[in-house]
Structure 1
Amino acid sequence: MMSEAEVLKAIGERLKAIRIQKGYTSYEAFALDHDLGRMQYWRLEKGEANLTMKSLLKVLSIHNMTIQEFFSEGF
């Protein structure tokens, strides 16, 4: 079983991979384009933020992705 820190890191890596796949090379540009706090989003990608369901759902909505789709790969 993964620790909480490992889960947050894996989620962050997945968010980063999706952002890059969507053509955003910079987390800052992505955050600014979608009205997200730059530092908060950076911390999400680094696995350093206490991720809330609300935050995750907001980012997934931006990517037109369901929570099932998000967790279907790599978890």
Structure 2
Amino acid sequence: MKSEEEVLKAIGERLKAIRIQKGYTSYEAFALDHDLGRMQYWRLETGKTNITVKTLYKVLEIHEMSFPEFFSTGFD
């Protein structure tokens, strides 16, 4: 079983990969374009904060992605 830190890091890595796939090379540009706090979003991508379901839902809505789609890859 993964530790909490490992799970948060995996979520952050997945968010970063999705952002890059959508054409955003910068977390700052993504955050600004979608009315998210730059530092808050950076902390999410780096796994340095405990993401809430509400925040994850908001980011996944931006990407037009469901929870099952998000968690289907990279969480073995």
RMSD of aligned residue pairs (Cα, Å)? 0.3
**Corresponding residue for 2:65?**
65
**d(CA) in 2 for partners of 1:66, 1:73:** 12
The gaps in structure 1 that reach 5 residues or longer are none
Structure 1: distance between partners of 2:49 and 2:22: 22
Aligned ranges 1:1-75 → 2 under 5 Å: 1-75=1-75
Displacement, 1:74?
1.2
SS in 1 for 2:59: helix
TM-score by length of 1: 0.99
- For structure 2, list consecutive stretches of 5 or more residues without a partner in the other structure: none
Which digits, 9 at most, give the CA deviation of each residue in 1:26-73, with x for residues without a partner? 000000000000000000000001100000000000000000000001
TM-score (ref. length: structure 2): 0.98
Q: Following superposition, which runs of at least 4 residues in structure 1 exceed 2 angstroms of deviation?
A: none
